[in-house]
Chain A
Amino acid sequence: MTTIQQRDGAPVTGPRPRRRSRLRRMRDDWWIYLFLLPTLVGYGAYTIYPLVASWWYAFLDWPGFAATGTFVGIENFDRLMDDELFWNAFWNSIVFLVISVPLRVGLALALALVLNRKKTPFKGFFRTLFFLPVVTTGAIVGIVFTLLLDASGPVSGALVWSGLTDTPVNFAAEAETSLYSGIAVWVWKWLGITLIYWLAALQTIPADVHEAAMIDGAGAWREFRHVTLPMLVPFLVIITLIDTVAALNVFDLMQTLTAGGPSFSSEVIEIFIFRTAFGATVPQLGYASAAAVLFGLLTMLIAVVQAVGIRWARRRTGSA
């Protein structure tokens, strides 16, 4: 019954009937390319083309929405190197990442360990509550928190009421704390999804490992340190990678919460790009593209470093 001639492309697992030339195969498999057509066209136009075009734009002086720009070589990159606001945004993004990712990953792990215990009551209910902010719109959340954090809003009110501060304070509107308010709101919003990642990871640890540790008389901490944690290392690397990339995509929340202010104190790199390309009185598309290209390189670099980390972690534990 499996002897019928496979005219329309060979299934991956099936035996190859006979060797065909490349061209012949492509002609025979025309329908496969038809299936791929929407993705090829869409991906080509909306992902590959922008990827390449950004590099081209980065070498242009392109004011506003003029038809096109003029080639200026590496002038944009030269200017970026000396642009204090660019480096300010760059470092703000790095600070955001370095503080928020460990917070998000660590808090979520602690919470997941508690919610993964058999004895914890109302697990499903708590999980739902912590997940709720994840589904909400980042831009709306940013605006809602401008109200919550306002000097006459509830956060400030609660701090004054409890005596922690003497005068009403708006953390999002102070240059010293605006970036950190953004980090706090971001961790609040996204903790739930990292929690789900961790719970999924913890499910892969077989129950008999726990029982064996119990029989050996290991306490909760020692069991975590010597049994659970080593098994979680590959997941730690993957979850950190996902959350790190997420920490570089915070435009919606930061733009609506602080818009980068006051006086650029919370301006992350995406806001810099947006402001330069679309928000300024004279938009500078070439200059913004140069910043975007550097931003893309940074993201890729981090992804590559972590991909190497994943490989390493997998080899170390011998599985994943």
Chain B
Amino acid sequence: MMAAGTDVEPLTAPESVAAKPPLRSRRIGRPRPGQVGTALVLAVLAGLWIYPFVWLISASLKTSSEIFGGGLDLIPEAPVWENYSRAWTEVGFATYFANSVLITVGTVLLIVVRSALAGYVLGRYDFVGKKLLIGIFLVTFFLPEGYTIIPITQLTDQLGLLNSHIGVILGLGAGGQIAATLLYAGYFRRLPKELEESARIDGAGQFTIFFRVMLPLAWPITATVVILTFLFAWNVYLLPLVFTLSEPELRTLAVGMTVFVGEQSTDWSGMAAAAVISLLPVIAVFVVLQRKFVDSIAGAVKQ
């Protein structure tokens, strides 16, 4: 049972591939035709895979009529940056962006704190009711969101939080998300118990031990949970959609995008620009932290 992303070394990093000379394949010294063919097929497939993004960026810099009638040419005649300012200010993506950031940050904080606390005691201590709790977690692991959305909406309405950021954050982060708790539990289980004992000799209480000693030690898991939760909260659609049906001011990027489409279905270039604005943060974070992303997911699935 592997728990952490960092101590899993399942994949080759891009740098190391480039750095290693082909000496590694001992049997064959020079590239065979088969190898070139493989590379070619891969390249064509990879081209297909990123084409939608290239097309999207190109479309976001064209005029709408150019997108409709310009054929397959990807280079815009003259980049129309005005598409971006239109989406940002007139359509309201500045507000949507702020909402998405706020909701994502709140959800990530909530899930990290509550998962670390619960994972710590689940991983390191025996207590009455532990087996029951783990049993409940496992049974509800695959609960689909379409199943719980109606009662969650009712509950949030009764709490008076239906049209607020905090309502969306609680809806996303308060329940579910068992993978994060299990990741923490798995990691804390493997830390030596002398850690607590020596801290206790120094007179530290449970809370000091957790926040000063244990939580900092678990940073690799925290990084993994932050990345996975960030992806989840930034990309989630159903819950923010339902929660903000009557409150346009609270729309996230994904919800705002669909409203935009519904209201101005002919403004293709504005839509493309808005889509780029929505996707850019998550893609930027991915490109910067891609090694950690991939390891996080590979590590989490091994749990």
Return the CB mask of B195-233 against A: 1 if under 8 Å, else 0. 011001100001100100000000000000000000100
Complex partner residue of A11 from B110, B117, B124, B255, CB under 8 angstroms? B124
Q: Which of A75-83, A94-102, A140-148, A223-231 contacts B (4 or more CB under 8 A)?
A: A140-148
Complex partner residue of B140 from A48, A140, A196, CB under 8 angstroms? A48
Complex partner residue of B238 from A1, A45, A148, A274, CB under 8 angstroms? A274
Please indicate the chain A residues that have their CB under 8 angstroms from the CB of B258 in the complex: 139, 143, 255-256
Q: Contacts A11-B196, A12-B124; is A129 near B49 (CB within 8 Å)?
A: yes
Asked if B75 lies at the interface with its beta carbon under 8 angstroms from chain A, I say no
Please give me the residue from chain B that is nearest to A296 by CB atom.
B147
Q: Contacts A31-B206, A39-B115, A288-B150; is A145 near B52 (CB within 8 Å)?
A: yes
Q: Contacts A152-B68, A252-B254; is A199 near B143 (CB within 8 Å)?
A: no
Judging by beta carbons under 8 Å apart, are B152 and A46 in contact? yes
Asked if B80 lies at the interface with its beta carbon under 8 angstroms from chain A, I say no
Judging by beta carbons under 8 Å apart, are A139 and B254 in contact? yes
Nearest chain B CB to A316's CB is how many angstroms away?
Answer: 20
Judging by beta carbons under 8 Å apart, are B237 and A139 in contact? yes
Please indicate the chain A residues that have their CB under 8 angstroms from the CB of B279 in the complex: 136-137, 140
Nearest chain B CB to A278's CB is how many angstroms away?
Answer: 6
State A133–B235 Cα separation when bound (angstroms): 12
Nearest chain B CB to A239's CB is how many angstroms away?
Answer: 8
Nearest chain A CB to B60's CB is how many angstroms away?
Answer: 10
Judging by beta carbons under 8 Å apart, are A54 and B114 in contact? no
Nearest chain A CB to B33's CB is how many angstroms away?
Answer: 12
Please give me the residue from chain A that is nearest to B59 by CB atom.
A147
Interface of B is mostly: helix
Q: Contacts A122-B17, A124-B14, A196-B298; is A251 near B128 (CB within 8 Å)?
A: no
State A289–B148 Cα separation when bound (angstroms): 9
State A196–B140 Cα separation when bound (angstroms): 25
Judging by beta carbons under 8 Å apart, are B193 and A11 in contact? yes
Return the CB mask of B275-289 against A: 1 if under 8 Å, else 0. 100110011011000
State A138–B275 Cα separation when bound (angstroms): 11
Q: Contacts A31-B206, A36-B118, A197-B298; is A269 near B146 (CB within 8 Å)?
A: yes
Judging by beta carbons under 8 Å apart, are A296 and B144 in contact? yes
Please indicate the chain B residues that have their CB under 8 angstroms from the CB of A148 in the complex: 52, 55
Judging by beta carbons under 8 Å apart, are A121 and B35 in contact? yes
Q: Which of B93-127 contact A (CB under 8 A)?
A: 110, 113-115, 117-118, 120-121, 123-127
Judging by beta carbons under 8 Å apart, are A32 and B52 in contact? no
28 inter-chain pairs at a CB distance below 8 angstroms, sorted by A residue, are A4-B200, A8-B206, A12-B124, A29-B125, A32-B127, A42-B114, A46-B148, A54-B147, A54-B151, A114-B42, A119-B35, A129-B46, A131-B290, A132-B49, A136-B283, A137-B235, A137-B278, A140-B254, A143-B275, A148-B55, A197-B298, A249-B146, A269-B146, A270-B238, A274-B242, A285-B154, A289-B150, A293-B147
